[in-house]
Amino acid sequence: METYVVHPDKVQEKALKAFLEALEVPYEIKKTTTYLSTSYQGLKKGRMILRRVKASL
């Protein structure tokens, strides 16, 4: 069995789903977060902690 990772836009996604269903190919869709959004959340949390520390000094 092979695994293909694709990144279609909305129009391509609709066509891809129709194609796979027509050929009866089993598939699954996984939503992933980007590293950028994860990093941004970490930076935001760090800034909040620094503000609390500065306020308590």
- Specify whether the CB–CB gap between 16 and 8 falls below 8 A: yes
- Averaged pLDDT in 10-residue chunks for the chain of 57 residues: 90 97 94 73 89 87
Sign of CA dihedral 12, 13, 15, 19: positive
Rounded to a whole number of angstroms, the CA Rg of the chain reads 21
User: What pLDDT sits at residue 30?
Assistant: 86
Cβ-based neighbours of 17, under 8 Å, separated by 6 or more: 27
pTM, rounded to two decimals: 0.52
User: What pLDDT sits at residue 11?
Assistant: 96
